[in-house]
Structure formats: structure tokens, C-alpha cells
Amino acid sequence: MSTTRRVVQATRITSLAALSVTIALALLERPTAASATTAPTLRIEEVGADSTAFDVVATIVTGPKEALLWDAQYHLTDAKRLADRIAASGKHLTAIVLSHPDHDHFAGAAAIVERFPGTPVYMTAKALEEYKRTAARDFNNEKSRAPQMLPDSIVTPVALPSMELKVDGEKVEVIPDLTGDVISGVNSVLWIPSISTVLAGDVIFNHVHAWLGSSDTTSRAAWRASIKRIAALHPKVVVAGHKKDVSAPDTPDVLDAMDRYLADFDSLRKTSADAPSLYQAMQAKYPDYAVSNLLRYAAMLAFRGAKPPGT
């Protein structure tokens, strides 16, 4: 091969190498298809109530343009305040999802739907069966006692079309029909993978006495299994269905605290002579927990036929 041909060939190789480097750099600098379509990170906003409403919590899940509401508050004033927060966000409310059929979580939904007409209200099919059986009765009992505190009617939810929902294209997952404070196992939780967050409904109470009046030793064992199910997700944030301080951190240690509370109640039930002694023993272990009347009636019902302690 002549010297001239060698020079030409070397020049071509050098040029091709330079072109390859240029293309590679351009590809690195250009956003990939995956990054261009990555869903926006969601955030949550909690709206709490005071102890007259059992310190119940509703949570707004928001993206850049959309919002989803998890639970709907209890009293009318709190539901209206919740609606104000949604309106102030400027987001489109795509759905209301009720974690379970207890009136302190669904009663306010009517006020939310009145403010945002056409918003669908969902529950799991199993929870909806319980709702149809008990909701009107429970609501009417509450309404007769304090008519000014509740909306004039309740909503008619429909069954969730899917356990996977989207907020601005980002997946949130309903984990259905766990056992919590409803004995029939109709408590659901919402898992938000992108922010490693669980909205736990009434599977978890945070520094509020749990409602154990609709549970027994068997269902409480299943309740503790539900807590383990949540823990297996390794969440960084766990939002309880009831919180003494709505601004308190939602650290995952509330899972262990809830499990301990249930274990303590069952253990102390075995060693307590009657409802008052069970109530007092639990109060001694959890002196800073709110809504002691929930514990009073749980203790009473653990000793069925006894009068509520302190009466």
C-alpha cells in the first residue's frame, strides 16, 4: 500500500472515530424517552379535625393539575374546610376514595361533592356492601343527635373500577379489604409508590385511642397482620386515619406503636378484673393519647354487660 493511501485511510478512521464520539455525546445530552415521560412526583396534604370528630384525618393527593381525595371528614365545618383547601390548590378533583364505611370518614363527602359536582365517590365492592347495610342507619343516628354538625344527606358511592388509580398519570394503588377497626375486614389503604407513602385509614391510629368496639381477639389478630402487610411495603411515610396532632410527622414507627397498642389491649384484657380496670391499665400505658371515650367503650365492650367505666 502506498504512503498516500495509508494517509487517506488513517484520515477516514480518525474522522469516523470523531463522528462516533460526537453522536455519543449528543445522545447522552438528549433526554431519554423514559425521562421525558416520567410521571411528576405527587405530594400529600392532610386536613384534620378536633377530638369532637375523633381527630379524624382526610388526605389530598395532588399532582401538577389533578387531585384525589382519600376520605372526606366527618363534621360539616371540617368538610367545608377540606373543600376550601382543594379549591385553593387549583387542582381538578378527579375522585373521592373512602377507605372504609365508618361515618366519621364518609359523612363529609356530600359537602365535597356539592362543591365539586360530578366527582365520583368510590369504595371497594366489599366495603360498599357494608356501607349499604349500615351507612344510612349510622348517619341518621348521628344526625338526630347533632343535626347542625352534619350535611343533610350522604353520598351513594360506587365500587372502585380498579385498584390502580392515576393522579396526573402517576400510579396510586388501593390495597383493599384489610382488617382494621371494622371487624368484617373492609378497611383499605392507599399506597403511593413514588413517594413511598401509605394512607392507612383506620388500620393505624396515631396518638389517638383506637376504636376497638367493633373488634374481637380474632379480628385484632387479623388487624395486626394488616399492619405487617403495610410494613412489608417499607414505607417512609404512614398517615394514620386519626391523629392527635395533624402536623406531627408521619414516621413509620406508628406501625410498631399501633401493633403494641393492640397487643397491650389483649394482654391487659386477660389480667383485668373488669372494664374499669382495663380502661385504667390502658390509660396508664398511653396517658397522652386523645379521645379517651373510645377506650372507655372499647373496655366496656370487652366486658360485655358491664357499664362504661367512669359512669
Q: What is the pTM of this model?
A: 0.85
For the chain, what percent of residues have pLDDT higher than 70?
85
| Domain-wise residue ranges, the chain | 43-253
Model confidence pLDDT, tens digit, residues 158-209? 999 999 999 999 999 999 999 999 999 999 999 999 999 999 999 999 999 9
Superfamily of domain covering 43-253: Ribonuclease Z/Hydroxyacylglutathione hydrolase-like (3.60.15.10)
CA 103 to CA 137: how far, in whole Å? 10
Q: How many CA atoms lie within 13 A of 164 on its CB side?
A: 4
C-alpha span between 102 and 123 (Å, rounded): 12
pLDDT for the residue 14: 41
> Which residue do the cell numbers 368484617 mark?
184
Residues 88 and 45: beta-carbon distance below 8 Å: no
The model's pLDDT over 125-135, given as tens digits with 9 standing for 90+, comes to 999 999 999 99
Beta carbons within 10 angstroms of residue 107's beta carbon? 29
CA distances from 4 to 11, 13, 14, 67 (A): 11, 15, 16, 70
| Tens digits of residue pLDDT in 28-67 | 344 333 334 464 589 999 999 999 999 999 999 999 999 9
Rounded Cα gap, residues 287 and 308, in angstroms:
19
